[in-house]
Every structure is written in structure tokens, then in C-alpha cells.
A and B are shown apart, each in its own frame.
Chain A
Amino acid sequence: DSNIPIVITTWNFENSTIKAWDILSEGGSSLDAIEKGATVCEVQQCDGTVGFGGSPDEDGETTLDALIMDGRTMNVGAVGALRRVKSAISVARHVLEHTKHSFLVGDQATQFALQMGFKEETLVTPDSKKLWMKWHNEDHCQPNFWMNVQPNPNEYCGPYRKLDTHGKHKNFYKKSEREQKRIVVDEFNHD
């Protein structure tokens, strides 16, 4: 027995699920349900893990990644490190529908979005700026994702230069990458 239409979503983002379901229950397509459902999270900044004003990078900038895949055609549209455009999933949908490519990244993805009529605006908010300021100034850039560089990334901010892991510093980091403690993933910090 078939139980369709249906939508499932990760985490506790009910408003996105409700939007996707509204589209499906009215006879809309699964692609529309995915795009519009994800858009709700981008607008509502779900737990700070989706959309503008969350998860600043080391420079304090928020960039966005999104993917949409059509299981009927196996076509894909995706954007990575999208800068200064809020509607990442919709830009990904435009990659799917208006290009023969699958994946655009960075500033060039932004230029594509602008050609498609999207608005360019900052993704930094007072909250994300405050978060970054605390990490940089009070927490001394901890945690971060660097290894085998100096100054010691476990204590200091960058800029970093590479450590000679075969020379006099070869025992500086004894743990392999696999053994090293990974960044804590929880409901407020995840891909």
C-alpha cells in the first residue's frame, strides 16, 4: 500500500514541513515542496543553522549552501559558499532549471543568482556579528578547524602558516586527524 504524498524533514523544523505538506496536499510537485519548505527555514533562520545571519565563518561572513535533486530526471541544482544572496535553495532550483550544470560556487554563484533576478544583500546580522566578535576577541578563535600550522591554532588566532610536519615540529601534533577531537555537533551547530 502506498502512503503518498509524504514529506520528511531533519531536525525539529515543523514550519518547513508544514509548508512542504501544504504544497503536496494541494497536488503540487515534490520539487516545489522541497524548495518552498526549505525557503521557510531560510527566512526563519531555523536554529541559526539555515539562512542568513548564522554560522559566520572565520571572517565573520555567512555563506549559504543548498541542493535540490529531482528523482524523476536525476537532475541536480546546487550552490556552495553562496555569498550575499539569501535564497540559496531557490538559486539551486535555478541552477537545476536554467543551466546544464549541477553545482555553482562562491562569487560566481552570486553572479549567476543576480542574472536570475535575485537580490544582493549582506547576510551578516547584528547577532552573527556579535557571535563572531565573541569567538574572535573573547574565545581567542576557539574552536577552529586548523591543524599542523603555527601559531598553535589551539591557542591563537591566525593568520597561520604551515608547520613543517616532517622536520623539527614532526612531534608537535601527535594525533592523526582521525584521532583528533571533532567539533561538537548539536542542534545549533551542524551541516
Chain B
Amino acid sequence: TIGLVAVDKNGDVAAGTSTNGAKFKIPGRIGDSPIPGSGAYADNTVGGAAATGDGDVMLRFLPSFLAVEEMRRGASPNKAARTAIQRIVSHYPSFSGAVIALTKDGEYGAACHGIQTFPYVVQDNTRETSEVISINC
């Protein structure tokens, strides 16, 4: 899956995902990626978020929605993403996945669990080229 969150020069936030899902899934199965609030979520008044990982588990917790709501309550993107991941981990300790979060003002962060490192990519006006940021899970 790729998950993306963007804010344009007008301050409009959008988010999205595209995926071919899990290998050898039962035909007809979909994961979290196309579910609003799960795979991705966006709200101009706050920002946006996107998630990736074990979609059968993730879609039960709407992690992208939760991350955005945490940012609405004043959490930093890193903290918001961590809260969304922790909500899942508290029920499924062996779950694997990650959440990225971005505020409407361009502050970003991520959190992950169950994989060694999780890379995500950022591009903004402060960088000449895109930057890959890897976080330890």
C-alpha cells in the first residue's frame, strides 16, 4: 500500500491510499486501505493521516481517524500517530503496522509497531529533494 497526505498552498488537505492488498487473501477480501478513517482521513480544520500494515486488524480501529482526532485535541503528529498505534497494540500485541500524520500547518510525524523500521517520505519547501525518514518501531 501507499498512503499519502498532502496540504496544498491554499491549505486544503487531502489523503489517499492505493493497494493490491494482502498476498493470498480470500477472494473478495478488502483491508483497511479503502476504508475512510482507517486507510486514510483528512479534515481541513486539523490535517490528515494514513495507515499501513495488517489491514484485517487495522480497519477495526480506524487509526487514521483517531490520529486526526488526537491532533484536533492538541496532540503533535508523532503523539497522535503513537496513540493510534497503541490503541491497536493494546488489543493485538502482535499486530504490525504504521501511521503517518500531518497537520494543516505542515507539521508531520509517524509511529509504527511490529516491524523493525518504518520508512516514510517527506517533501516540503524546506528541502531541495524528498527525504526518507526511518523510524524504529
Contacts and interface: CB of A to CB of B under 8 A. Distances in A.
Interface string B1-31: 1111111111111111111111111111111
Interface string A15-41: 011101100110111110111011101
Interface residues of A, number: 91
Given A18-B130, A24-B6, A182 B20 contact: no
Interface string A142-186: 011110000000000000000000000000000000100111111
A182 B3 CA distance: 22
A89 B16 contact: yes
B33 A10 contact: no
A189 B12 contact: no
Contacts of B71: none
B5 A8 contact: yes
Given A6-B7, A18-B123, A55-B20, A30 B36 contact: no
Interface in B54-84: 54-58
A34 B33 contact: no
B10 to A, nearest CB: 8
A173 to B, nearest CB: 17
A106 B28 contact: yes
Nearest to B114: A185
B121 A178 contact: no
Contact of A67 (B17, B96, B122): B17
A30 B20 contact: no
Contacts of B92: 178, 182
Contact of A189 (B16, B23, B105, B132): B23
Contacts of B130: 14, 17-18, 21
Given A8-B4, A72-B13, A103-B34, A58 B123 contact: no
Q: Name the residue among B1, B4, B51, B94 with the largest chain A CB count within 10 angstroms.
A: B4
Contacts of B85: none
A18 B122 CA distance: 9
Nearest to B59: A191
A1 B126 CA distance: 13
B136 interface: no
Given A10-B4, A10-B52, 19 more contacts: A6-B122, A6-B123, A8-B5, A9-B100, A11-B2, A11-B120, A30-B12, A37-B4, A38-B18, A48-B20, A65-B31, A65-B33, A66-B18, A70-B42, A106-B28, A182-B95, A183-B22, A185-B115, A191-B33
18 contacts: A6-B7, A9-B5, A10-B4, A11-B118, A12-B132, A17-B121, A30-B14, A41-B2, A48-B20, A59-B27, A62-B20, A63-B21, A69-B42, A72-B44, A145-B29, A182-B94, A186-B96, A190-B22
